[in-house]
Amino acid sequence: MVRETTVNDIINIKGFILPEIEKEITATGGSSAHDELINYCKESDVTYTLLADKIPVCVFGVMNIDGKGLVWFFTSTEVYKYPIAFYKACRDFLKEILKNYSKLFGQVSQDFKKSINFFKRLGFTIAKEIQRKNELGYELELGGK
């Protein structure tokens, strides 16, 4: 089930965020994944939570950056138990969100292979290599006008 994100979702996912996501956040200068999740939710146009067995397994959303949508995902360790539901929810979300933006994009560390493959599986392509605060990364894009 997917629904709009609540404060409880953020509290409940806090202890279960994937270690790779925590590494990704600190590599780009964030203090913690939990703090960044709160900031992303505040700055986003929409945020949703994927629930499995009433447990938040992923919080995701999109921010408007100059007419393009910056897509972000905070996944928990529980997400691997529900891969089909996860991909379906994300595909449905992206299909709906793409109507509101000229293009969607995401930024990922080159070391975070699971995220890169996840974005590719959802139809994103690598647009360019980017320099992030402490590492190299990729910007991946979907759609475009």
pLDDT at 35 over 70: yes
pLDDT at 145 over 60: no
Domain that holds residue 31: 2-101
Q: Is 32 part of any domain? A: yes
**Residues 61 and 41: beta-carbon distance below 8 Å:** yes
Q: Is 118 part of any domain? A: no
User: Helices 19-27 & 113-121, crossing angle to 10 degrees?
Assistant: 100
Q: Is 112 part of any domain? A: no
The count of structural domains within the chain is: 1
Residue 43: the pLDDT is: 93
Q: Is 9 part of any domain? A: yes
Q: Is 132 part of any domain? A: no
CATH number reported for the structural domain that contains residue 39 in this entry = 3.40.630
Stretch among 26-40, 47-61, 66-80 having the lowest mean pLDDT: 26-40
Spatial distance between the Cα atoms of 141 and 110, rounded to a whole number of angstroms? 15
- Name the nearest CA neighbour of 40 among 84, 83, 11, 72: 72
Q: Which tokens belong to 142?
A: 């979907």
Question: Which pTM value belongs to this model?
Answer: 0.82
pLDDT at 31 over 80: no
- Encode pLDDT of 108-134 as tens digits: 888 888 889 889 999 999 999 998 777
Spatial distance between the Cα atoms of 125 and 103, rounded to a whole number of angstroms? 12
Q: Is 116 part of any domain? A: no
**Residues 5 and 47: beta-carbon distance below 8 Å:** yes
**Residues 124 and 141: beta-carbon distance below 8 Å:** yes
* pLDDT tier at 30, thresholds 50, 70, 90: low
**Residues 108 and 137: beta-carbon distance below 8 Å:** yes
Q: Is 121 part of any domain? A: no
Residue 123: the pLDDT is: 92
Q: How many CB atoms lie within 10 A of CB 12?
A: 17
* pLDDT tier at 27, thresholds 50, 70, 90: low
Q: Is 114 part of any domain? A: no
